[in-house]
Chains A and B, each alone.
Chain A
């Protein structure tokens, strides 16, 4: 079955740039999506179709994709950005969907 791979954790100081990566064989042909999940809350979409930002998401959140890797970048990370971040995409057929294992972002 198709898998997306994420590092378990990333740590930055406030104001620094955080980069969270996601690798998957189908990413050259399929979009990546990114979700933020804070403790005890439902996930929130922060990036869709590789690099688009939904309304209401701060401009410090951006996305990119190159080859088999997608990247979520948080420029000037803030304490309130501490959360688990999940990438999401589809397999090569487009019918089945998968989440990455998640990356815990610590900002302190």
Chain B
């Protein structure tokens, strides 16, 4: 069964760093692009970043560019989100999601991990 499990969330002070992980199982991880999407309390979904299946390309929403880095380790079936210089406005539930093969949307989502910057 296809499964994504996020971890690494927590409470962190402004300006500090945090690394989120997303462990994948049940599919050939190295064949799929992966995304991070976040949702601030009471707000809508916000796309954060995408990494291609082989890590060759990465794209970010403007608000995190230069502060967040998406990466992956296909040998560990894991995608990461390194978050530096955290701000209060980064407080959110962070979801990882699998990209639909040969498409731009996401078809499988994890349950999310909560990041609180305070």
A residues with CB within 8 A of B = 1, 30-31, 33, 35, 37, 42-45, 48-49, 54, 84, 86, 88-90, 94-102
Contacts and interface: CB of A to CB of B under 8 A. Distances in A.
A102 B45 contact: yes
B9 interface: no
Interface in B73-118: 95, 100, 103-107, 109-112
22 contacts: A30-B104, A31-B104, A42-B95, A42-B110, A42-B111, A43-B95, A43-B109, A45-B100, A45-B107, A48-B100, A48-B105, A89-B104, A94-B104, A95-B59, A96-B47, A96-B59, A97-B47, A97-B104, A99-B45, A99-B46, A100-B44, A101-B44
Given A97-B47, A97-B50, A48 B103 contact: yes
A56 to B, nearest CB: 11
B61 interface: yes
A101 B46 CA distance: 9
Nearest to A102: B44
Contacts, number: 61
Contacts of A89: 104
Interface of B: 35, 37, 44-47, 50, 57, 59, 61-62, 95, 100, 103-107, 109-112
Given A1-B62, A95-B59, A45 B45 contact: no
Nearest to A94: B104
A48 B95 contact: no
Contact of B61 (A49, A86, A96): A96
A31 B105 contact: yes
Contacts of A98: 47
Given A48-B100, A97-B47, 11 more contacts: A31-B105, A35-B45, A42-B111, A88-B45, A94-B104, A96-B47, A96-B59, A96-B61, A97-B104, A99-B45, A102-B45
